[in-house]
């Protein structure tokens, strides 16, 4: 796939159907390879730098795992507080500096647009692992791969996106990818956490069917998949506002019984209280399988960006 060679990965809208279908194929090959051996040599000698200015468990560890499984090496900052950002260095200067060490950079930062700034300054490909309430394109890729594995196909799905659609960067990126497959979308959120108008109108212009609602049960009963997200506490200027909306939607086994049909449940994680623990054993609860898929997808993406696939 020459398509992504040398490219920055910044936004869910940058991919074509061909890119995604190619990535799914390569991720699936990676998954098969890892069943045969512990690691590959595809990126031997290459170095990935992870720059995380915001907390992360899955994204950072799965990128680091992916690079090491490909035979490459990883360098990373211990924390934002432990880096020169604490002395006032700009994201651009940090990215320029790290370009002197690494062959590819993965960055997470609390400000929208920061990954683009890093990419503009860097001389190596930059991958956006979350820019504030903006975008999280690699999560969207692994979500897409997970649907393909769980449901067999991506075409003409009805999906309910649930939770903090205003601040959730995973949903902002994921809907872009779903729109390539003509998904029908329910946006289920409290009134003050609706999907940004710009994203919704953009999708509608592309001919995507969207219904915004606060009624989770109705939306879920008409969906094959629900994508549940956490209320993004750290994005609230006013914490009393957070207290008012937290716990708005909770998926528990009683809810699933009322649905009277099997549904697939994804969540980018971490969860707070929006999926209760008794759901974990439900056959359609795919969120920990989704975590594992992150490694294969990030392997595929790194190989593609480095021009090795
Ligand atoms: C998400 C994120 O950081 O945006 N987590 C992740 O990368 N899997 C979701 C979240 O924090 O709610």
pLDDT in tens, 157-206: 999 999 999 999 999 999 999 999 999 999 999 999 999 999 999 999 99
Reported as a pLDDT band with limits 50, 70 and 90, residue 141 is very high
Q: What is the mean pLDDT of residues 283-305?
A: 98
Distance CA 94, CA 213 (A): 42
Q: What is the mean pLDDT of residues 41-49?
A: 98
Among 151, 158, 139, residue whose Cα is nearest residue 210: 158
Shortest-distance Cα residue to atom 11 of ligand 1: 270
pLDDT reading at 63 higher than 80: yes
Catalytic machinery residues: 58-59, 87, 108, 136
Ligand 1 atom showing the smallest separation from residue 54 Cα: 3
Percent over 90 (pLDDT), the chain: 94
Q: What share of the chain is helix, strand, coil (3-state, %, to 5)?
A: 45, 15, 40
Reported as a pLDDT band with limits 50, 70 and 90, residue 79 is confident
pLDDT digits (tens, 9 = 90+) for 216-267: 999 999 999 999 999 999 999 999 999 999 999 999 999 999 999 999 999 9
Ligand 1 atom showing the smallest separation from residue 229 Cα: 12
Q: What is the mean pLDDT of residues 128-149?
A: 98
**Does the Cβ of 163 fall within 6 Å of ligand 1?**
no
Shortest-distance Cα residue to atom 12 of ligand 1: 230
**Does the Cβ of 139 fall within 6 Å of ligand 1?**
yes
How high is the pLDDT of residue 147?
Answer: 98
Between CA 219 and CA 226, with CA 221 as vertex, the angle to 5 degrees is 65
**Does the Cβ of 269 fall within 6 Å of ligand 1?**
yes
pLDDT reading at 154 higher than 80: yes
pLDDT reading at 2 higher than 80: no
**Does the Cβ of 1 fall within 6 Å of ligand 1?**
no
Q: Ligand 1 centre and the CA of 36: distance in Å?
A: 31
Shortest-distance Cα residue to atom 8 of ligand 1: 268
Q: What is the mean pLDDT of residues 127-131?
A: 98
Ligand 1 atom showing the smallest separation from residue 58 Cα: 8
């Amino acid at each position: 796939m020459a398509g992504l060679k040398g490219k920055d990965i910044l936004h869910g809208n940058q991919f074509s159907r061909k890119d995604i279908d190619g990535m799914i194929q390569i991720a699936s090959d990676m998954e098969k390879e890892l069943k045969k051996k512990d690691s590959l040599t595809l990126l031997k000698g290459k170095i990935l730098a992870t720059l995380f200015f915001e907390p992360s468990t899955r994204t950072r560890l799965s990128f680091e795992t992916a690079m090491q499984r490909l035979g490459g090496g990883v360098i990373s900052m211990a924390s934002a507080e432990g880096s020169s950002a604490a002395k006032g260095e700009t994201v651009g200067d940090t990215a320029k500096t790290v370009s002197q060490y690494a062959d590819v950079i993965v960055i997470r930062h609390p400000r929208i647009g920061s990954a683009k700034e890093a990419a503009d300054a860097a001389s190596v490909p930059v991958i956006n692992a979350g820019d504030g309430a903006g975008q999280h394109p690699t999560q969207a890729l692994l979500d897409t791969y997970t649907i393909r594995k769980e449901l067999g196909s991506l075409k003409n799905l009805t999906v309910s996106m649930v939770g903090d659609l205003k601040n959730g960067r995973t949903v902002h990126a994921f809907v872009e990818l779903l729109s390539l497959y003509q998904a029908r979308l329910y946006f289920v959120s409290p009134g003050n956490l609706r999907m940004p108008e710009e994203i919704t109108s953009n999708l509608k212009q592309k001919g995507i069917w969207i219904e915004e609602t606060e009624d989770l049960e109705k939306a879920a009963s008409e969906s094959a998949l629900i994508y549940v997200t956490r209320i993004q506490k750290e994005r609230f200027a006013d914490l009393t506002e957070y207290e008012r909306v937290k716990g708005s939607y909770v998926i528990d086994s009683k809810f699933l019984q009322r649905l009277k049909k099997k549904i697939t449940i994804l969540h980018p994680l971490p969860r707070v209280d929006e999926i209760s623990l008794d759901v974990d054993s439900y056959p359609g609860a795919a969120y920990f399988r989704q975590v594992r898929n992150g490694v294969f997808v990030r392997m595929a993406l790194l190989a593609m960006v480095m021009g090795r696939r």
